[in-house]
Copies of this chain bind each other. A is one copy, B any other.
Amino acid sequence: MSKDQGQTNHAIDAYADGAWTLPGERVRLATETPLPLDCGTTLKDVDIAYQSWGELNAEKSNVILVCHALTGDHFVAGKHPITGKPGWWEAVVGPGKVIDTDRYFVICSNILGGCMGSTGLQSVNPETGEHWGRDFPVITIGDMVRAQKLLIDHLGIEKLFAVVGGSMGGMQVLEWACQFPDHVFAAVPIATAARHSAQNIAFHEVGRQAIMADPDWCKGNYLAEDKKPHRGLAVARMAAHITYLSEAALTRKFGRNLQDRDQVTYGFDADFQVESYLRYQGSSFVDRFDANSYLFITRAMDYFDLAERFDGQLSKAFKDTPVRFLVMSFTSDWLYPTHESREIVHALNAGAANVSFVEIKSDKGHDAFLLDEPDFHQVFEGFLNGCAEHRGLKGAKS
């Protein structure tokens, strides 16, 4: 059983109360021209919550847009306002780091449909005055990127120096390069795929079914009924979390070590450290994430298939692209295995694109892109430096 019942969900409560208390900026866009969505409807008055680091140069040519993953948010670096832990890409973004905030102006926005300030399922539907909840339109990765484009336009940035991200963030990177090739100088899709695999759809479906099986989900209307499907969401998180790691990493980290005991108890307590760890992952997640958002974002990932709109030919998505690409994967990532990255690279090569591809040796699984992996960081930094030189950015490192 998750131990979280009775806890509050700070982010969602802050939002539900209409009091935006989290740090960062927030702008309302699409107020006059609604944002068209892939499902056929439109959204008006789209709020985008974001943070930035570093200084925008006079030419506005040093902007790196960071795209976050399924359960990420715009708190990339610095102390996270809810968990109190370091931001999710603290290893990569900061002064003197791979994405050097002494040099680049770094932006990350909470995705459309997210639960940390951007318009999503906890937002109020202006037409009804009620929370959207499950009535929110089912959004896509393409919709998320078009919402980000509104923000970039709003900030007066004509061309992003780079768009970077891992996992679902990498899907957004691919969408940026596909939809807005003239507004992106370099693109770095990491540990991702151009389409979501059957196995990954299956894992998402397990998570969704876990949430929807929780009576406190209330058919999606839990906010109105003052409930939270914490148990279902925790199970969904636990199942997903296993896929973010590798068998080797789990064995190295936990093996069959027991949790604060000398022998098994012949019961259902968390005898093993790996059980205790997993339960913690589930119970801490529900304190910072919204169940309906989880449903909708996983669905957006399932629907992602970049080649589909080009008659199944991925190369057409990048035809004659001026964007420079660095594609990276990790040897032990079984959620987005290297062959998925190779498919992207083959398509880019077929389109005669400028592309580098590196498979990083790591036993840390999918999560390696979030961690301190020296080879990964070196390749990533080298690519950005090279692009900075080509772009004529001042202060280029040699």
Contacts and interface: CB of A to CB of B under 8 A. Distances in A.
Contacts of A264: 303
Interface string A210-253: 10111100000000000000011011001100100101001101
B201 A274 contact: yes
Interface stretch (A25-33, A83-91, A275-283): A275-283
A299 B266 CA distance: 8
A74 interface: no
B214 A213 contact: yes
Contacts of A337: 247
Given A195-B256, A268-B299, A278 B247 contact: no
A105 to B, nearest CB: 35
B206 A231 contact: no
Contact of A198 (B198, B212, B251): B251
A385 interface: no
A198 B235 CA distance: 17
A158 interface: no
A199 interface: yes
A273 to B, nearest CB: 8
Nearest to A40: B266
A174 to B, nearest CB: 16
A199 B238 CA distance: 12
A284 interface: no
Given A256-B305, A264-B303, A197 B250 contact: yes
Contacts of A266: 38-40, 137-138
Contact of A199 (B39, B202, B247, B299): B247
A321 B92 CA distance: 55
Contacts of A247: 197-199, 334, 337
A254 interface: yes
A171 B226 CA distance: 47
A234 B250 contact: no
A357 interface: no
Contacts of A199: 242, 245, 247, 250-251
B1 A205 contact: no
A13 to B, nearest CB: 22
Nearest to A252: B198
B278 A212 contact: no
A184 B1 CA distance: 42
A15 interface: no
A279 B137 CA distance: 24
A256 B209 contact: no
A73 interface: no
Contacts of A51: none
Contact of A302 (B39, B212, B272): B272
A193 to B, nearest CB: 11
Contacts of A196: 256
The 3 closest A-B pairs by CB, nearest first: A213-B231, A39-B266, A138-B266
29 contacts: A2-B213, A137-B266, A195-B256, A197-B247, A197-B250, A198-B247, A198-B251, A198-B253, A198-B256, A198-B274, A199-B245, A199-B247, A199-B250, A201-B272, A202-B242, A202-B274, A205-B238, A205-B274, A205-B278, A205-B279, A206-B239, A209-B235, A209-B238, A209-B279, A213-B213, A213-B214, A247-B334, A268-B299, A272-B302
